[in-house]
């Protein structure tokens, strides 16, 4: 299988482990025969153990918690994706929704809020909204790591991004043979998938290097930024290109389209999105326009109310045809730093035996990502910035300690409760200890079906609890985020109410099993469905007289609730400032173990 969230790379794992066993055996024999080590049992054992740990053969384990042995039933972690806590204004779909279950839980003693944005999840500043990927990284890892945006920013500022072999290989043929250097990526400053500043800096560097021909393929956002802001970012890019071209260069926009229509599919939900991107960027066969601005303005006139993320694919042409189709000898850089929506287009550029759609042409190019989007499958093969290395996640410790785990979500968030939760790692730590289940998402706009697959996810979670097989269960209910991104307020209200209805079904089953539920979110979204002014009131769109829709995440805190029907005052819930990274130690403690020393502190303390 091509896609990293769908398999465990078991063959590679077994092959590596077999080689490790052989090497350890040979190393031990050598120690026994070597006169220096023959009498030194402790040294011999320590060296073998170091080798085992280094090669990944050693299983991490947890110490038992002497003050709390855990409950009879499982610890269930429920991630209510995109449901933050904000003031009750006209744009807060969470506050406007009828949510009696959550309302009751949030009145209890075991409720607080957590930070889920900015530095609390490894982003450059507290002005940066959180996102599902960094949120689930923090939830699963128990620590905070510098994330994509921060790593790329640092690499550009220090110049390290230009000193590696990948950049040198990318610019070789454009410098020596006049080939084109292509940049593909999301054109916004949302700082979730990309940042336009990174692209502008790469364009400046390309000119400094002396690259004469550059083509830019723009993906329009309207999701992590205001929903019709594309022309603002396009103006920034056009200004940069004009300044460079005034020096005698040939830098042009070649193609584009809205991110939900063009290129940026994830989890193999809809490969036709990638196909449309291929046709626009590589083949130059999308609807032709003389400029990107003409494309955007024309479609907006044709389809009143269309938002940027749904703008159709386009190709920029002149009298000779497409201005920037990708051909043999060119170099291509995907400037997005986040992995989930970058993997499929990367596979299309790199995989010889590709069968997801008919590519028509498969140009021989040097292809690189801004980062390595999957560290286990090494997608892509070349990248400009090394991603964070996240080891010793909670799942790895629990697997090594014999704790059976179950993870479930629908396609849109399945990778979050598996790959991102496990520290950007494909597959499982233990086939025996872990069970993953994916429910196929709908393939329609989520405002048209705002209940999504929440009921089916709840069904599976209930089955898992009742089975008695698992000590911990985690699920992501995606409605708050995916429906929040549509900008449709009433749909978001239904989404929040759907989550509450599902909790009303699931929590009694957890109570009957003698378990505990931890409820939280990875970031906010439907808590602000309208843009707010400096006084916190919804902004009015001057053209329509209606509230300005907001489709981006928020920087609001998220709820954290412990539902423990057997609670008898054995522990207290900390009210000190904390973030998503503190949840892992809390889960481990409530399972009856001590958390690793370098994990962020648990949110509970035992008496």
Residues 167 and 275 grouped into a single domain: yes
CATH code of the domain containing 548: 3.40.720.10
Token pair listed for 50: 């170091």
**What is the DSSP code (8-state) at residue 5?**
G
| Residue 441 domain flag | yes
Which residues are known to be catalytic?
132
| Residue 364 domain flag | yes
Q: Which of 355, 385, 415 is the last residue of a domain?
A: 385
What pLDDT is recorded for position 18? 56
| Residue 64 domain flag | no
Span of 8-12, 430-434, 435-439 with lowest mean pLDDT:
8-12
Neighbours of 278 (CB within 10 A): 27
pLDDT at 35 over 80: no
> Is the overall model pTM greater than 0.85, yes or no?
no
Residues 255 and 398 grouped into a single domain: no
Residues 194 and 327 grouped into a single domain: yes
| Residue 436 domain flag | yes
Residues 342 and 426 grouped into a single domain: no
Distance between CA 528 and CA 552 in Å, rounded?
9
Distance between CA 262 and CA 270 in Å, rounded?
11
Token pair listed for 403: 């704790």
Token pair listed for 99: 């949510």
334-363 pLDDT tens trace: 999 988 899 999 999 999 999 999 999 999
| Peptide bond between residue 380 and the one before it cis (omega within 30 degrees of 0) | yes
Is residue 262 left, alpha or beta, with left meaning phi > 0 and alpha meaning psi from -120 to 50?
beta
| Residue 539 domain flag | yes
What pLDDT is recorded for position 149? 87
* pLDDT confidence band for 24 (50 / 70 / 90): low
Contact between 111 and 560 under an 8 Å Cβ cutoff? The reply is yes
Residues 371 and 302 grouped into a single domain: yes
* Strand partners for 520: 79, 560
Residues 181 and 289 grouped into a single domain: yes
What pLDDT is recorded for position 535? 83
pLDDT at 25 over 80: no
**Selection from 504, 310, 392, 420 nearest residue 81 by Cα:** 420
- Give the helix ranges, DSSP H, for 363-453: 394-400, 411-415
Residues 273 and 184 grouped into a single domain: yes
Q: Which of 361, 385, 409 is the last residue of a domain?
A: 385
Distance between CA 241 and CA 250 in Å, rounded?
9
Contact between 194 and 335 under an 8 Å Cβ cutoff? The reply is yes
Distance between CA 497 and CA 389 in Å, rounded?
38
What pLDDT is recorded for position 266? 87
Residues 599 and 529 grouped into a single domain: yes
Contact between 168 and 451 under an 8 Å Cβ cutoff? The reply is no
Span of 167-171, 233-237, 374-378, 529-533 with lowest mean pLDDT:
374-378
What pLDDT is recorded for position 52? 40
Q: Return all residues near 24 (Cβ < 8 A) that are at least 6 apart.
A: 48, 51, 52, 57
**Selection from 111, 113, 110, 132 nearest residue 121 by Cα:** 132
Neighbours of 50 (CB within 10 A): 11
| Residue 431 domain flag | yes
In the block, which residue shows the tokens 């990318």? Answer: 170
Q: Give the count of domains, the chain.
A: 3
Contact between 336 and 193 under an 8 Å Cβ cutoff? The reply is yes
Distance between CA 511 and CA 429 in Å, rounded?
29
CATH code of the domain containing 192: 3.40.1450.10
Residue 342's φ and ψ, nearest 5 degrees, are -110, -15
Domain that holds residue 432: 77-146+390-606
pLDDT at 8 over 50: no
What pLDDT is recorded for position 2? 33
Give the pairing of strands 434-439 and 405-410: parallel
Angle, helix 41-54 to helix 10-33, in steps of 10 degrees: 160
Neighbours of 127 (CB within 10 A): 10
Contact between 555 and 130 under an 8 Å Cβ cutoff? The reply is yes
| Residue 58 domain flag | no
176-235 pLDDT tens trace: 999 999 999 999 999 989 999 999 999 999 999 999 999 999 999 999 999 999 999 999
**Selection from 388, 359, 357, 358 nearest residue 372 by Cα:** 388
| Residue 65 domain flag | no
Residues 271 and 374 grouped into a single domain: yes
Q: Which of 343, 364, 385 is the last residue of a domain?
A: 385
125-140 pLDDT tens trace: 888 888 898 999 999 9
Residues 321 and 450 grouped into a single domain: no
Do you know the residue count of the chain?
607
Residues 227 and 296 grouped into a single domain: yes
What CA dihedral angle connects 349, 355, 356 and 360, to 10 degrees? Answer: 60
pLDDT at 510 over 90: yes
Residues 538 and 597 grouped into a single domain: yes
Most distant CA atoms of the chain, gap in Å: 87
């Amino acid at each position: 299988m091509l896609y990293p969230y769908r398999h465990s790379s078991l063959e590679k794992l077994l092959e590596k482990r077999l080689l490790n066993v052989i090497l350890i055996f040979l190393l031990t024999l050598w120690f026994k025969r070597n006169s220096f080590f023959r009498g030194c049992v402790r040294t011999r054992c320590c060296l073998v153990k170091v080798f085992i740990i280094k090669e990944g053969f050693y299983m991490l384990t947890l110490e038992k918690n002497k003050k709390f042995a855990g409950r009879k039933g499982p610890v269930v972690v429920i991630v209510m994706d995109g449901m933050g806590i904000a003031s009750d204004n006209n744009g807060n779909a969470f506050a406007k929704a009828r949510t009696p279950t959550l309302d009751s839980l949030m009145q209890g003693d075991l409720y607080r809020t957590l930070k889920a944005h900015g530095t609390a999840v490894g982003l450059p500043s507290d002005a940066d909204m959180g996102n599902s990927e960094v949120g689930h990284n923090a939830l699963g890892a128990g620590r905070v790591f510098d994330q994509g945006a921060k790593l790329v920013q640092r690499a550009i500022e220090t110049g390290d991004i230009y000193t590696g072999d990948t950049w040198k290989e990318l610019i070789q043929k454009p410098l020596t043979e006049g080939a084109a250097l292509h940049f593909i990526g999301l054109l916004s400053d949302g700082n979730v998938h990309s940042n336009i500043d990174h692209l502008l800096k790469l364009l400046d560097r390309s000119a400094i290097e002396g690259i004469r021909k550059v083509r830019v393929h723009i993906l329009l956002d309207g999701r992590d930024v205001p929903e019709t802001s594309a022309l603002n970012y396009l103006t920034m890019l056009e200004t940069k290109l004009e300044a460079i071209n005034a020096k005698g260069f040939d830098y042009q926009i070649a193609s584009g389209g809205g991110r939900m229509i063009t290129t940026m599919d994830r989890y193999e939900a809809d490969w036709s999105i990638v196909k449309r991107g291929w046709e626009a960027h590589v083949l130059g066969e999308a609807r032709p326009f003389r400029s990107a601005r003409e494309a955007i303005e024309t479609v907006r006139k044709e389809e009143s109310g269309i938002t940027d993320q749904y703008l159709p694919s386009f190709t920029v042409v002149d009298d000779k045809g497409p201005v920037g189709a990708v051909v043999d000898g060119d170099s291509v850089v995907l400037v997005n730093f986040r992995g989930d929506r970058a993997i499929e287009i990367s596979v299309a550029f790199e995989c010889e035996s590709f069968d997801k759609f008919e590519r028509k042409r498969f140009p021989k190019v040097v292809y690189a990502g801004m980062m390595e989007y999957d560290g286990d499958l090494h997608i892509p093969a070349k990248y400009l910035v090394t991603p964070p290395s996240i080891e010793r996640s909670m799942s790895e410790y629990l697997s090594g300690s014999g704790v059976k785990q179950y993870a479930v979500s629908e396609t849109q968030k399945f990778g979050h409760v598996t790959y991102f939760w496990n520290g950007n790692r494909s597959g499982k730590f233990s086939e025996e200890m872990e069970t993953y289940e994916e429910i196929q998402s709908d393939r329609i706009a989520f405002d048209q079906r705002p209940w999504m697959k929440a009921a089916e996810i709840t069904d599976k979670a209930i089955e898992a609890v009742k089975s008695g097989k698992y000590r911990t269960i985690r699920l992501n209910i995606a409605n708050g985020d995916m429906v929040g991104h549509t900008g449709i307020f009433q749909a978001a209200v239904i989404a929040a109410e759907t989550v509450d209805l599902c909790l009303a079904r699931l929590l009694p089953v957890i109570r009957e099993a003698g378990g505990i539920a931890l409820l939280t979110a990875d970031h906010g979204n439907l808590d602000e469905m309208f843009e707010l002014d400096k006084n916190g009131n919804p902004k009015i769109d001057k053209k329509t007289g209606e509230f300005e829709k907001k489709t981006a995440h928020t920087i609001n805190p998220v709820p954290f609730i412990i539902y423990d029907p057997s609670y008898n005052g054995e522990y207290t819930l900390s009210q000190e400032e904390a973030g998503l990274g503190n949840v892992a130690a809390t889960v481990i403690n409530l399972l009856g173990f001590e958390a690793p020393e370098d994990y962020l502190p648990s949110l509970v303390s035992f008496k």
